[in-house]
Structure 1
Amino acid sequence: MSPEIELLVSIGYCIFIIVLALVLKKFPPKKINHFYGYRTTRSMKNQNIWTVANTYASNLMLKVSLYSLIFPLLCYFIIPDYNFLITVIANTLLVCSIIFFTEKHLSKNFDANGKPK
């Protein structure tokens, strides 16, 4: 692929992640389920944690995905031949970081049984 095509595909990938974040923010899951939303053992303990976790995770995902638009632009000038690969790896790491930060937020605000601290 040419560097210009890699740039366009990489930006398209980032926009796709932004759209997913907007969907989660606009249409958060109302009830605890195993199909849609931020689903971890801690977030599914009760409805209060579920709501907090999904709100926090969707806000963080939107911020992270907006920052991820920087990677394709930087890679285009630094390593244009690997733009898409680097963008996908960077986005994957950023999206995985959402789990870490959301769990940290939940542990700060809720005890092990799911009750607010």
Structure 2
Amino acid sequence: MIVRFLHSTYCNAALFGGLLFLLMGYLILHFPPKSVKTWYGYRTFLSTRNQEMWDAANKDAAMISRRVGFIILLIGICCALIFPSQTDWFMYITVGAVVVGVLYITGYTEWMLTNEFDDDGRRRIPPKL
């Protein structure tokens, strides 16, 4: 039974990646990491500059992660329903969706940090309420 599931189209990277992004976004949004030294959170060079950048990056990454996770989950469900078996194109689409999702989350969050904070890590614009 497990082998049958592993070879079915319902076992794909987009479904697992989408669920992982949804879970990650939910956990970071509802249980935000308190400091830069915690073991989880959105961790890049820009986001670990100071506490204010860390908080802003994790809040933004959590919201984007939930949106991207939902879209990737829909792509995975559509691919599972459309493709009769796990073909090369099936793998390209499902794995590609996860890769593009990771790149989008990282790129958008880094872009937001560079626009919202100056080179010294001080906020340029007031935070959104």
Interval of TM-score (by shorter of Structure 1 and Structure 2)? 0.7 to 0.9
Matches within 5 A, 1:29-40: 29-33=33-37, 35-40=39-44
Structure 1 residue aligned with 2:86: 81
Aligned counterparts of 2:26 and 2:91: Cα–Cα separation in 1: 22
Aligned counterparts of 1:52 and 1:109: Cα–Cα separation in 2: 9
Cα deviation 1:78-117 (Å, max 9, x = unaligned): 5742445532331122122111000111111100110111
C-alpha change, 1:42 and 1:90, in structure 2 (3 Å) is same
Of the three residues 53, 56, 67, the one matched with 2:57 is 53
Contact 1:3 1:81 in 2 (8 A): no
Aligned counterparts of 1:34 and 1:27: Cα–Cα separation in 2: 12
Contact 2:65 2:105 in 1 (8 A): yes
SS in 1 for 2:9: helix
SS in 2 for 1:100: helix
Structure 1 unpaired stretches of 5+: none
- Given the two structures, how large is their TM-score scaled by the length of structure 1? 0.82
How big is the shift at 1:28? 1.2
Structure 2 unpaired stretches of 5+: 125-129
Query: What is the aligned-residue RMSD (CA, Å)?
Result: 2.5
Question: Higher Cα Rg: structure 1 or 2?
Answer: 2
Of the three residues 73, 77, 91, the one matched with 1:69 is 73
Contact 2:15 2:73 in 1 (8 A): no
C-alpha change, 1:69 and 1:16, in structure 2 (3 Å) is same
- Higher helix content, 1 or 2: 1
C-alpha change, 1:4 and 1:72, in structure 2 (3 Å) is farther
Aligned counterparts of 1:85 and 1:79: Cα–Cα separation in 2: 15
Contact 2:50 2:121 in 1 (8 A): yes
- Given the two structures, how large is their TM-score scaled by the length of structure 2? 0.76
Give the paired residue count.
Answer: 116
Structure 1 residue aligned with 2:104: 97
AA at the equivalent of 1:93: V
How big is the shift at 1:49? 0.7
How big is the shift at 1:20? 2.2
